[in-house]
Amino acid sequence: MIIRSRGEKIFSVFNHLFLVVLAAIMLLPFLHVLAKSLSDEAAVMAGYVGLVPIGFNLRTYKYVINNYEFLRSLYVSVVVTGVGTFLHVLITSLVAYPLSRDYLVGRGPITFIFIFTMLFSGGLIPTYLVVKGLGLVDTLGALIFPGIFSVFNMIILRNYFASIPDSLEEAAKIDGCSHLGIFFRIMLPLSMPAIATVCVYTAVGYWNNYFSALIYINSRNLYPLAMYLRQVVVDTSSQLVDLNPEISNLNPQSVRNATVIASTVPIIVVYPFLQKYFISGIMLGAVKE
Partner 1 sequence: MTDLRRRPHKASSSKFKRLKQDKGLYLMLLPGLIVIILFHYLPMYGAIIAFKDFNIIKGIMGSPWAGLKHFSNLLYAPEFYRVFRNTLLISIYRLVFQFPIPIILALLINEIRNVLFKRSIQTITYLPHFLSWVIVGALTIDLLSPSGGLINKVLGSIGLGPVTLMDKKYFRTVLVASQTWKEAGWSAIIYLAAISSIDTELYEAAVVDGANRWKQTLHVTLPGIRSTIVFIILLRISALMLTDVEQVLMLYNPLVYEVGDVIGTYVYRQGLGRMKYSYATAVGLFQSVVGFACLVVANRLSRKYTDTSMW
CB closer to partner 1, 55 vs 126: 126
Q: DSSP letter for 185, please.
A: I
Of 266, 269, 270, residue with least CA distance to 226:
266
Choice from 53, 98, 141, 252 touching partner 1 (CB under 8 A):
98
* DSSP H stretches of helix in the chain: 6-37, 41-45, 59-66, 68-100, 107-119, 124-133, 141-144, 151-163, 166-174, 179-182, 188-190, 192-208, 211-216, 225-234, 238-243, 252-286
Choice from 109, 121, 249, 269 touching partner 1 (CB under 8 A):
121
Does residue 211 touch partner 1 according to CB under 8 A? yes
Does residue 265 touch partner 1 according to CB under 8 A? no
Does residue 209 touch partner 1 according to CB under 8 A? yes
CB closer to partner 1, 29 vs 82: 29
Choice from 102, 109, 120, 242 touching partner 1 (CB under 8 A):
120
Choice from 10, 52, 71, 115 touching partner 1 (CB under 8 A):
115
244 burial (CB, 10 Å; 0-12 / 13-18 / 19+) is: middle
The total number of residues shown for the chain amounts to 289
Q: Which stretch binds partner 1 (CB under 8 A): 5-13, 68-76, 163-171, 241-249?
A: 5-13
Q: DSSP letter for 106, please.
A: T
Exposure string for 265-274, b = 16+ CB within 10 A, e = fewer: eeeeeeeeeb
Contact present, 61 and 80 (Cβ < 8 Å):
no
Binding map of partner 1 across residues 233-262, x = CB under 8 A, - = no contact: xx---------------------xx--x--
Does residue 114 touch partner 1 according to CB under 8 A? yes
Of 166, 161, 200, residue with least CA distance to 183:
161
What single letter denotes the amino acid at residue 94? L
Choice from 71, 192, 243, 279 touching partner 1 (CB under 8 A):
279
CB closer to partner 1, 123 vs 189: 123
Does residue 22 touch partner 1 according to CB under 8 A? yes
Choice from 59, 79, 145, 193 touching partner 1 (CB under 8 A):
145
Does residue 13 touch partner 1 according to CB under 8 A? no
Q: Which stretch binds partner 1 (CB under 8 A): 18-26, 57-65, 66-74, 240-248?
A: 18-26
Residues 163-192 that bind partner 1 (CB under 8 A): 178-180, 183
Of 30, 45, 35, residue with least CA distance to 252:
45
Does residue 207 touch partner 1 according to CB under 8 A? yes
Angle at 262 between CA 150 and CA 32, to 5 degrees: 110
Choice from 58, 66, 68, 117 touching partner 1 (CB under 8 A):
117
Of 206, 207, 231, residue with least CA distance to 218:
231
Tell me how many residues contact partner 1 (CB under 8 A): 93
Q: What are phi and psi of 108, to 5 degrees?
A: -60, -60
Alpha-carbon span 71 to 62, nearest angstrom:
12
Shortest distance in whole angstroms from residue 56 CB to partner 1? 19
